[in-house]
Amino acid sequence: MKKYAYLCLLALSLNSTYAATPLDTSISQLQHGWAAAEYQTPEKDREAAFKKLATEAHQVSLGNPGRAEPLIWEGIITSTLAKYQVFFKAGGTAKDARDLLLSAEKIDPISLDGSALTSLGSLYYKVPSFGSFGDHKKAREYLERALKVNPNGIDQNYFYADFLLGEGEYAKSLEYFKKALNAPARPGREDADTGRHADIQEGIKKAEKKL
């Protein structure tokens, strides 16, 4: 009987160890918010959706100082906001996103499977090199570092493939698009995976057309 009671207590202890924390819940909400804004919102409404989500993400960052995860998601959301802004606004927003991601990298570069590295790589190749901070050499370095952290990740492979496509490395780009397509599913992030698969299929078509 004592042994049974001990095992019950042990089970409860283990379950509490793996219970979602308030930060986990907040990060999950931001992830689903991002997927909804990016893949389920009409394009004309996406800037407003991401602006609202960026405000929410900032509050999560303020409430969790010293943690990389909220800074990563605030950076991802801010960088996506820049994509939907007019040019004169987008540059400053992209720089804000870069600074958030650099701060997250300093705290923990491998947090969330190296998502800060992936997002920094994406930013460095998507923003202009003239008049901004775009740098394709840095982009490649960050994206390759991200792949070392999570070689089978859907985002890590997708963004590296997209970068290679832009660099004219079409065969290699196709290889990584296919790796992204076959990446393991992310439990709880089915909405993001569905949208990303559509992005990957589009990338595959572009790469194949170039070969």
Rg of the chain in Å (alpha carbons): 19
Percent of the chain with pLDDT over 90: 87
SS3 content of the chain, % helix, strand, coil (to 5): 80, 0, 20
Q: Are 30 and 53 in contact (CB under 8 A)?
A: yes
Over range 72-83, report the average pLDDT: 98
Confidence label for 114 from pLDDT (cuts 50, 70 and 90): very high
Structural contact between residues 98 and 91, judged by C-beta atoms closer than 8 angstroms: no
What pLDDT, in 10s, does the model give residues 6-52?
334 333 333 434 467 999 999 999 999 999 999 999 999 999 999 99
- Per-chain mean pLDDT for the chain: 92
Q: How many CA atoms lie within 13 A of 89 on its CB side?
A: 11
Residues 134 and 47: their CA atoms lie apart, in Å, by 22
Please state the rounded mean pLDDT for residues 110-132: 94
Contact 192, 35 (CB under 8 A): yes
In the chain, the percentage of residues whose pLDDT exceeds 70 is: 91
Are the beta carbons of 113 and 104 closer than 8 angstroms?
no
Euclidean distance between CA atoms 9 and 15, whole angstroms: 10
Architecture of domain 21-150: Alpha Horseshoe (1.25)
pLDDT band at 100, cuts 50/70/90?
very high
Whether residue 184 is predicted with pLDDT greater than 70 in this model: the reply is yes
Q: Which residues of 63-97 are buried (b: 16+ CB within 10 A; e: fewer)?
A: ebeebbbbbbbbbbbbbbbbebbeeeebbebbbbb
Least confident of 1-5, 189-193, 200-204: 1-5
Tell me the per-residue pLDDT of 81-95, one tens digit each, with 9 for 90 and over.
999 999 899 999 999
